[in-house]
Amino acid sequence: MTRGLFTRTATALALCAAVLACAGCAGYQAVVACQAVVEKEELGRSVQVVVKADDARQSPEVGQRSPGSKMSGTVTVSPETAQALRRAVGDGLAAKGFVPSSPAESVVRTLTVELATLTYVGTPRPGGITAEARVVLAVTVDNNGEMLRKSYEGVTQWKLNGDNVEPDFDRLLGQTMSKAVSKLAADYDLLNFLVKTVLRTRDLG
């Protein structure tokens, strides 16, 4: 009887220890809001463009919640990140005079943007951490069968103070993605490729 009580007590204590340990392992899911910061103009001449976006990363993880400690969990981003990216790119193109449109036979231009890289690295320092975020967007443009491929990078370094830095992850990652989106929407090589008329010939034989 005493041995059974001892076994049950030991099991209960082990379970409590596991729960307490896992409490420190909880991750943080950042909500990334981004935008294209560009000057408005009518370069696009109301040309219709289908904008697509996808999270092409192999892992949902962005980085460790606390530098050098895997026990503190990881930082990920919400599943809506790809939609936020698509809206930001569409808004950026609209600011340049293009018209983001739904897929249709009459719309011959498609811009596909993939979130290829999204990382956060923290370095401990007295009173907080030095955080660096990096974003890489891989972009493919199809203008009536003629293709253009580009990539855009955004990097941001912040000094985060104190223990409650989770809300800073949202802003840090959002600002970094906004940098990459802004570069995309301000790239005249890409914009001029989108706006030009590409004629397709048919084989009449």
CATH architecture of 26-195: 3-Layer(aba) Sandwich (3.40)
Tell me the pLDDT tens digit for each residue of 112-135.
999 999 999 988 888 778 899 999
pLDDT at residue 200, as a whole number: 75
DSSP per-residue codes, the chain: -HHHHHHHHHHHHHHHHHHHHHHTT--EEE------------TTTT-EEEEEEEE--S-SEEEEEETTEEEEEEEEE-TTHHHHHHHHHHHHHHHTT-EE----TT--EEEEEEEEEEEEEEEEETTEEEEEEEEEEEEEEEETTEEEEEEEEEEEEEEEESS--HHHHHHHHHHHHHHHHHHHHT-HHHHHHHHS---------
* 24, pLDDT greater than 90: no
Tell me the pLDDT tens digit for each residue of 32-52.
999 999 999 999 999 999 999
pTM above the 0.95 mark? no
Domains of the chain, residue spans: 26-195
pLDDT at residue 70, as a whole number: 57
